[in-house]
Structure 1
């Protein structure tokens, strides 16, 4: 079969069956079941499931039901948020599903790129994405932007037959045809996608600390439970009764509402971040942002807009002869003519050139009038050998004219040397080229001459003795707001490192322009991929703190940089959009991509930016820090209550007193009285200056020494009062059910009042606005209603084994709670002062 005949639909179907669809091998398919099962991968959930199993085995179905509800609520909340995020991305991917034009059955057909097979003939057009790996068989000024694979923003010419093109890259100029050689996972992009399976991601700081806290809780609960059980048996107690008692202590020690509250905090954080234009795909990623210590930025498309624009035109080296933009000089007028006439609009540079010409003249759209006035007679297309394009034009507005115009544009040093110019001036222009190149600018040179002889064609020997017109300078402009966002990042104590596949000079110009470093970069603050390749991990570890820019890097080198930073204890966020970024994105603690990123990059990312704005990352970091602060408040609150309940029950058992509160009552307090206000803490506003603080260490514990001391002191104060109340009530010879109702009510009221103390861990009640969190006020009100329901509703009295209390008794218990709250705040005041 001749290549140019393409395939028949029948043959294409046979090959599709043989080679499979043209899709990348990614992670497991997005399914609701997979997301649901992931919600159970939490040490806190493991503890709750074990507790529910034990209470169920003992026949305590009320306890089992309440613990089970906590597990179900946590699971559904986490599932809902992650499912919604994945669904949004799935919809986005379906809308953006790529198409391709293939030659089948003797005609061009538009099909889904997934149905392309080896042997297909595919048409390549400006702006189109290459659907598979292949070889070029026809090309007309064809160049490909391979930044998605290499990180280099400069398009690569593909003017020769047999030039290779790769899946995911984009046609930057010209048109052509390719023969598909490899599809799906056999492509270069597919190989990178496969390599991601061997790239492991470390636990996030929150996962690590929650896991650590859960293990400590499990050990403490296990030790206390076993100790009390053995003490009871040694003192002649019934083993079943002692086991049930030990389980009651275990239930008291486990903050059942913690898992639900943590999930709710993270879910709310996801919603807040979404409002600030970013989709968080995984719950824990929302908090990890707040711990970020280093952001590794890709340059092209993240810091810059990823498209070249004309920033200035130079027609003379004498500053006085360069008129401001919009003002016409004869040189500038000729330069504009050259930019329009010597232009095929097949290249991003040529498109930008035309936009500049229209902006700086009164040209109609597209310059059609100028093209009519100077119709093109012939051309020499741009080629990598001669590095210019030359166009020959008639002069229609001069009917008797015997001359024609030859315009030339291309590599400035090439065009310049074809001009008539004194040697000294030529050297000055060459120096100007070098200066502009060192600033990361790209240049296009222009020249012209009048051709006296009437010609119908132009040859290379005609391109000489030209008149120099000047140069256009291009840059990939930085995204609006990026410089300010980078300054905010530094203020927040976050280190910025730029990792790019682009040239060192180009990247340095961007870094210096954005002032990522206070001063212009020095030699020892920049490293290239070749230099990086020669460094061992240990050598890089010693240098990496000082390095700001990594240029000309490949995917494995980007991965190495992220790994070394993590080994030094940094929490790394990595931004990128290309397949070449995917391994590093997956390894980083937080992988961040823009909405237009490759599918492989999106698959590995934790966060997708909907507005491609670096400032959105900082907004997400701020939300992450708020999440961490509120997590600490919730944990302090819930553990204080759990500690109080454990000491209260443990103390009663050691003194051979009856249980002051039952397991079912503890669960009611932990899930209803503690759970609702605890969840309402997630709506607390962060303390002022949260983005002026240094990021916490990867190994920073959730509970620092101060918080542990505070929990201990508050717990002891509460226990002393509750134990004194319990002992006094026992001496009054009241029925045990009534005494337990008193203690149950006292613990519930104490929880509902103490929550206000946890609104701020850094200030006292009189220094904060107690009414600022409307959700908390509602939660406390509901908590009081549910507490009263547990005391007065017959059905709940039966479940909780409570009796009704009179008004005076309730008032006394509220007064008791307020008095204890005052003591807690007094303790907190002295503690914070010292």
Structure 2
């Protein structure tokens, strides 16, 4: 083994070999792409434990070469001085950037893999058969008018199928790549940095620019950016290496110990010398050997299931077609197979993956405009169904800074709030090196109204001759000050108990101690402020002039965000490691309910509370939040909510939030979050505040609505195409050119892409898939379309009915009937887009009635041109152009086109009415259309009762109560309501701790009783609607309690 300060040739060779091996897999140095560390669970799931141990052993074996790489013969003193800029650049040129690389799939493989799915393979097989096999004429010519049919190779079908599959693959590839590029650009904007020592000074340095030998700072919450060695002097650190070694407990590291890239600092501060970067790190070698884990969201799984169902139904339909043509119609097997495959391709949701990817990419791009990085696209899908949002308090709901509450300044005798702030500010360090308290006091005076003695101008004319800073013995600051009138004063602020003992006695002391206890119960930090005449030599005693309260205030937009979330059906629960009193005060200021559970729930006494509710998840539903929790508690809270069916979101910013962020369906790291929190989250907010979460909820629900409309449309289209061609071939022996069917499918898929950018309103409640309803509605719409088209085909064929002569027109030839059917099927499918996007009649756009908004121009233009193309082809297709693929098609002229268009429009309204009727039948309440005009449906009445229960649980502070109608109801029931927390405390009689606890229990008991009554009321509503045991014997439904214009029950 080489000496510490001497290079080792063998080690250097070993290091070079390892670097070459890894580089051959992942690319090299400057031209490679950086990869963010993957989520911890993904690494553990993908990497066998034996692999991790072997890599750990390999890292130990490389210790000699690692030391050689960074040491360069420097002394310890030189190492602690760090590199100069020039030295760092030389190292960077030698070792490359500190980038963790992975084996990225080449672009050509990404493209090729898209051709290997079931649908593309079917399309390619169909295209090959179209070009290889001569297609005969199967059509049964009618006795009235005949038309020519030229058999031959179907090159048009070949070209259309190849064009469609290439188009779908290309657009899908580009959509995904554009989304990835957008995320990459945003990540580069928020590239991680660390504090490194360069040129003798600590500077913020991009992590990717670290080099072996660099000296960096480590502190709690930091993800170790490279392999290194702790140096210098200080207390041991706690390091979480669970993502690397599989050990769940943090390990203690002392100066001189090695730390690994990707580990998380849990506690402590020390300096670290970088020993390896990039692919030479333990983390880098691991990632180079692991494949990227890609997760699919709920909607993607669901749409995949839909595709399998449609494929199965398609096969059930086309197999009989194949045998009927083969044995009954004496068609060659290759030609029959081609027809079956083309019909199957037209039935399959070819554009479904593209529509999903495009919709999610659009959502990701829209969120990027709000400075939010979507790290997992499927999180957008899951956010649409999110019904509970768990949030950390410090740094997420609050600003994580100390401020003075100007509304809670306790004034003694005749002292004014402005005077108290001025004295506190003079007893603080005003300039340079302010601590959190001094800064809070100074900012409070600066922002206080000038009319009440505020503003830093009030300090002009005062001269501080002596200042004694805070120390742990006296626990207060003191300043000797000469006032503008020449008098000398001593001014002091400090710990409330110390200040009370210093200058209070008798009743004033009792009153001051009561105030301290009151603030402590509310989680506020108190500071006493006192003043005395004369300088430090004076014997005049201090007089208490007031007490100020400090707190970590809520973010400016937090309260509105919580209200908006509740209005969207998302309940926000606080989960914090802070004390219960602090959590209750913050929750009270945010009007999010003060039923906060402390650490007692995790002890033996908590088991009884949980058993009373049946399960821990049910117990969590009943409370507003938790205090004094540890990371494992946050994780369990999220997990228990998921067990009882909730889609749970989690916001946080600290290391202690990372486990829960990873476990949640949607993990959201707020601005300023630690690297650990960002790595564990699905969405990273780069802008301060939480309002982006509401934007994300709205975007996700819009995307859900778009996808739901697309699924309805596509399933209905598949039922229509499969059903029509099955009956037309098997029952009516109708021959339809395959190239026309392929053209129809191509145009439909092109239009379907536009649904990803359709206009829609975000739902007011969380959304969940109801595939039973979706399947029923789509099948009904599709079957009505089958009836429409089969009936038109029967009427148009002179073998059955002389329908066209009834319009004063000549009977159509079989080739002209092909044009008629092509036009009608095209219009049926295209018009279905407008029907499936609206639960009600397509023309109802009123938000009050629950209708969808007008379709976007992005959707209308493709639909318009699709119908226009179909009209022109059906009317003008020349007789002398035969493209093979079965029977010829001949333009039928403008008069039949007009009749077909009228037929399609009439049936469109019929389908739409049947759709609404089907929804009505499936709904468990009253007629939807009537209910929206004159009353409410049962489901809406249920929602109204639930809302009443929710509001009853809140603590008389929700802004919803300020709405005029509800406010009047509250006042009529003599329920006290105050707009400000300060008013509540000012008008509430003082109570002891025991009295307060008893009062809370009494209120909770009344709320529980109210909930019981509400449940009874719900049952009574069900009974009045004819569904409960108390229903009318006649079976007739009575008018509901909540129906407008209705009487009492």
TM-score w.r.t. the length of structure 2 is 0.62
Select the residue among 336, 347, 360 that pairs with 2:435: 347
User: Quick check: 2:578–2:628 contact (8 Å CA) kept in 1?
Assistant: yes
* 1:116-137 CA distance string (max 9 Å, x none): 6899776899x99999996885
3-state secondary structure, aligned to 1:755: helix
Cα deviation per residue 1:160-201 (whole Å; 9 max; x = unaligned)? x99xx9999999xxxx99533789999xxx99xx99x99999
Could you tell me how far 1:296 is from its partner in structure 2? 1.4
**2-side partners of 1:77 and 1:90: how far apart?**
20
Equivalent-residue separation in structure 1 for 2:871 and 2:725 (angstroms): 23
The residue number in structure 2 matching 1:250 is 344
Other structure's SS at 1:444 match? strand
1:220 and 2:317 aligned: no
3-state SS in 2 of match to 1:646? helix
- For residues 759 and 390 of structure 1, do their structure 2 counterparts lie closer, same or farther at Cα, with a shift above 3 Å needed? closer
Structure 2 match to 1:304: 398
Structure 1 contact 290–625 (Cα < 8 Å) conserved: yes
| Structure 2 residue 914 is matched with structure 1 residue 827 | yes
The correspondence of residues 24-423 of structure 1 with structure 2, limited to 5 A, is: 37=110, 46-59=117-130, 61-94=158-191, 97-98=192-193, 100=195, 102=197, 107-108=200-201, 110=203, 112=205, 114=207, 178-180=270-272, 203-229=296-322, 238-274=332-368, 278-312=372-406, 318=412, 321-323=414-416, 325-326=417-418, 328=419, 333-340=422-429, 345-360=433-448, 361=453, 364=456, 370=462, 373-376=463-466, 379=468, 382-383=471-472, 386=473, 388-391=475-478, 393=480, 395=482, 405=490, 407-417=491-501, 419-422=502-505
Instruction: Give structure 1 stretches of 5+ with no counterpart.
Output: 140-160, 456-461
Per the TM alignment, residue 627 of structure 1 is displaced from its structure 2 partner at its CA by 2.1
| Distance in 1 separating the partners of 2:81 and 2:107 | 40
1:671 and 2:749 matched: no
1:403-449 CA distance string (max 9 Å, x none):
884x55443224433x0421553343233222212223223334465
Q: Which residue number in structure 1 is paired with residue 517 of structure 2?
A: 434
* Shift of residue 213, structure 1, vs aligned partner: 1.1
CA contact (8 A) 2:217 2:272 kept: no
Following superposition, the deviation at residue 57 of structure 1 comes to: 4.5
Q: How far did residue 790 of structure 1 move?
A: 4.8
The CA deviation string for residues 18-51 of structure 1, in whole angstroms up to 9 with x for no partner, is xx999797x969x79689949979xx99343232
* Offset at residue 102 of structure 1 (A): 2.4
- Conserved in 1, the CA contact under 8 Å of 2:781 and 2:915? no
Report deviation, 1:451. Answer: 7.4
Question: What corresponds to 2:777 in structure 1?
Answer: 707
Q: Which has the higher contact order (CA 8 A, sep 6+)?
A: 1
Asked whether the 8 Å contact 1:756–1:770 carries over to 2, the reply is no
Change in CA separation of 1:639 and 1:262 when aligned onto 2, cut-off 3 Å: same
2:850 is the alignment partner of 1:775:
no
2: CA distance, partners of 1:198 / 1:58:
38
Q: Distance in 1 between matches of 2:815 and 2:325?
A: 22
Distance between the aligned counterparts of 2:915 and 2:719, measured in 1? 17
- Paired residues of 2:217 and 2:271 also in contact (CA < 8 A): no
1:750 paired residue among 805, 824, 828: 828
Q: In the alignment, is residue 545 of structure 1 matched against residue 621 of structure 2?
A: yes
Compared with structure 1, are the counterparts of its residues 642 and 598 closer, same or farther at alpha carbon in structure 2 (3 Å cutoff)? same
Supply the distance in 1 between the matched residues of 2:291 and 2:635 (Cα, whole angstroms): 12
What does residue 569 of structure 2 align with?
Answer: 493
Query: Counterpart of 1:632?
Result: 708
Deviation, 1:232, is 5.3
Encode CA deviations 1:495-522: one digit per residue, 9 max, x unaligned: 22222232222122112222223xx316
Query: How far does the alpha carbon of each residue in 1:641-669 deviate from its partner, in whole angstroms, 9 at most, with x for none?
Result: 2211111222234337243352x322322
Shift of residue 677 of structure 1?
4.2
Displacement of 1:818:
2.2
CA–CA separation in structure 1 for the residues paired with 2:409 and 2:822: 87
Residue 696 in structure 1 maps to residue 772 in structure 2: no
Q: Secondary structure at 1:760's aligned position in 2?
A: coil
Provide the C-alpha distance between the structure 2 equivalents of 1:573 and 1:248, rounded to a whole number of angstroms: 44
CA drift of 1:704 comes to 2.9
Structure 1 residue 250: Cα displacement? 0.7
Quote the Cα distance in structure 1 between the aligned partners of 2:307 and 2:338.
Answer: 23
User: Which structure 2 residues correspond to residues 584-599 of structure 1 after superposition, within 5 A?
Assistant: 584-599=660-675
Distance 2:542 2:292 in 1: 57
Residue aligning to 2:551: 475
Distance, in Å, in 1 between the alignment partners of 2:409 and 2:908 is 78
SS, match of residue 823 in structure 1: helix
Is 1:555–2:650 an aligned residue pair? no
Q: CA deviation at 1:68?
A: 1.2
Report deviation, 1:553. Answer: 3.0
Is the partner of 1:617 in helix, strand or coil? Answer: helix
Counterparts of 1:796 and 1:356, CA distance in 2: 85
Distance 2:569 2:521 in 1: 30
CA distance in 2, matches of 1:34, 1:575: 35
In the TM superposition, what whole-angstrom CA distance separates every residue of 1:190-226 from its partner, at most 9, and x where no partner exists?
99xx99x999997533123212212212322233344
- How far the C-alpha of 1:98 sits from its partner, in A, is 2.9
Q: Is the 8 A contact 2:465 2:482 kept in 1?
A: yes
Q: 1:530 to 1:340 in 2, by over 3 A?
A: farther
Matched position secondary structure for 1:307: coil
SS of residue matched to 1:592: strand
Count of residue pairs the alignment pairs up: 762
SS in 1 for 2:555: coil
Work out whether residues 384 and 700 of structure 2, in 8 Å CA contact, stay in contact via their aligned partners in 1: yes
Task: Select between 285-294 and 265-274 the one with higher mean Cα deviation.
Answer: 265-274
Task: Judge conservation of contact 1:559–1:587 (CA < 8 Å) in 2.
Answer: yes
Question: How far has the Cα of 1:567 moved from its partner?
Answer: 2.2
**CA offset digits 1:596-617 (Å, max 9, x no partner):** 3234433443333354333332
8 Å contact kept, 1:354–1:366: no
Instruction: Note the C-alpha offset of 1:558.
Output: 2.3
CA–CA distance in structure 2, aligned partners of residues 633 and 364 of structure 1: 60
Deviations 1:256-295, CA, capped at 9 Å, x for gaps: 3433333343344444445566454444433432211111
Q: Secondary structure at the match of 2:771?
A: coil
How far, CA to CA, are the matches of 2:881 and 2:352 in structure 1? 24
Question: CA separation in 2, counterparts of 1:111 and 1:303?
Answer: 27
Which moved further from structure 2: 528-537 or 289-298?
A: 528-537
Q: How far apart in 1 are the matches of 2:901 and 2:742?
A: 21
Q: TM-score, normalised by structure 1?
A: 0.76
Aligned with residue 528 of structure 2, among 423, 445, 450: 445
Cα 1:711–1:621 shift into 2, 3 Å: same
Asked if the contact 1:681–1:759 (Cα under 8 Å) also holds between the matched residues in 2, the reply is no
Q: 1:128 to 1:809 in 2, by over 3 A?
A: closer
2: distance between equivalents of 1:506 and 1:35? 57
Distance change >3 Å, CA 701–CA 350, structure 1 → 2: farther
**How far apart are 1:247 and its partner, in Å?**
0.6
Equivalents in 2 of 1:429, 1:623: separation in Å?
52
Q: Is the alpha carbon distance of 1:364 and 1:829 closer, same or farther for their aligned partners in structure 2, counting shifts above 3 Å? A: closer
Secondary structure of 1:339 counterpart: coil
Matches within 5 A, 1:550-589: 550-589=626-665
Q: Unpaired runs of 5+ in structure 2?
A: 1-74, 132-157, 236-254, 803-810, 847-851, 922-1049
Which deviates more from structure 2 when the two are superposed, residues 110-119 or residues 255-264?
110-119
